[in-house]
Amino acid sequence: MNEEKQQLTQNSNNIYEEQMQETYQCRICLEEEDNLELLISPCRCSGTSKYVHKKCLRIWRHQDINAPGFSKCMECNEEYIILNGDNIESENIFIIFNKSLKLLYFQMIIALPISFVMFVIDYEDKNIIKSMPAWNSSYALEALDYDSTYKDLFYLNLSIYIVNQLFYIVYLSRVCIYVSNIKELLYLMRKHFIINFFYYNLYWLFTIGMGISDMYEFSIICVFLYQLFSYKMNYLFLKHHNKCIENINSQLNTGVASMDINPLNIIVDEYEGEDDEYYQENDGIELLSN
């Protein structure tokens, strides 16, 4: 019995030494590699497609973590055994706003109805205008009544400001729902939060500051022009959010486990449907039949 065990151990050592002396090829970079420790067999592919450099596979998979090639082999369709796969943050939270014009449409579709409602409510009393600091004056009301365009722009400016605040609320709500590493994300986004907050609130600087100087018409035009491009700021904000998510995911160990360390899958894959004689005819497999 001891002699049989020694023979099995010797056979296993010989097989391992033969494997270490062989030359393998990475199926991605196609370079030959004699160090098996740098390679991985992540799926059921065989032959020249069996092995791949760990580094090459990582670069290949992280080109797009939302693509099918991140989680499975595109040749044999075998699902990868992904380490820490449950901790990967989604990069598609704001996929609907993948173009800046979509944010512009979102902004105007909401802002225009709000401005119309404010115009109707404020048509006679003008309480909304009067509630603005430095705008409760006869000169301001006369200037807006003289040309209705200024009044329309006034309500539209205020509506866009409200929509930008809603954008922040929507962003934070979706982050709280779909992001696990919230603290880390908010820390990485802190500068852009400050920049956008300052940009949004320039509305009050122009509206109140120029209102004090009785520059009401000029104030309305300036506010409208800079707020018209606030959708660009929101788009850049979301782009930076995606970069931060990529940064968080890149720090996770989302590598792929080798099928070589999952014997059950290998046995099912190689020997499924074969009779027992097959096991006895292969080196070192006698142990399975005992």
- 249 with 88: CB under 8 angstroms? yes
DSSP string, 215-234: -HHHHHHHHHHHHHTHHHHH
66 within domain boundaries: yes
119 within domain boundaries: yes
Average pLDDT over residues 30-39: 80
Report pLDDT for 264.
42
Report pLDDT for 130.
79
For 155-159, 170-174, 188-192, 211-215, which range has the lowest pLDDT when averaged over its residues? 211-215
| Percent above pLDDT 70 for the chain | 78
Report pLDDT for 34.
77
How many Å apart are CA 256 and CA 54, to the nearest integer? 8
Residue 45 sits in the same domain as residue 140: no
261: pLDDT confidence band, cut at 50, 70 and 90?
low
Q: For 8-32, what is each residue's pLDDT tens digit?
A: 556 555 555 555 556 788 888 888 8
Average pLDDT over residues 247-263: 69
In degrees rounded to 5, what are phi and psi of residue 84?
55, 35
Look at the pTM and tell me if it is higher than 0.75: no
Residue 108 sits in the same domain as residue 242: yes
90 within domain boundaries: no
Average pLDDT over residues 85-113: 85
Residue 228 sits in the same domain as residue 260: no
Q: For 140-159, what is each residue's pLDDT tens digit?
A: 777 777 778 888 888 999 99
Cross-strand bridge partners of residue 40: 52
In terms of Cβ atoms closer than 10 Å to its own Cβ (0-12, 13-18, 19+), residue 110 is middle
Range of the domain at 126: 95-250
Q: Is residue 90 over pLDDT 90? A: no
DSSP string, 120-175: HHTTTT-HHHHHSTT--SHHHHHHHHH-HHHHHHHHHHHHHHHHHHHHHHHHHHHH
Report pLDDT for 225.
87
How many Å apart are CA 140 and CA 144, to the nearest integer? 6
Mean of all residue pLDDT scores within the chain: 77
Give the highest mean pLDDT range of 215-224, 225-234, 262-271. 225-234
Residue 245 sits in the same domain as residue 274: no
Instruction: Return the higher-pLDDT residue of 275 and 261.
Output: 261
Residue 245 sits in the same domain as residue 259: no
Residue 161 sits in the same domain as residue 228: yes
Q: Which residues of 235-248 are buried (b: 16+ CB within 10 A; e: fewer)?
A: bebbebbeebbeeb
Q: Is residue 245 over pLDDT 70? A: yes
Q: Report the domain count for the chain.
A: 2
Q: Is residue 282 over pLDDT 50? A: no
Report pLDDT for 195.
92
Residue 259 sits in the same domain as residue 246: no
- 168 with 198: CB under 8 angstroms? no
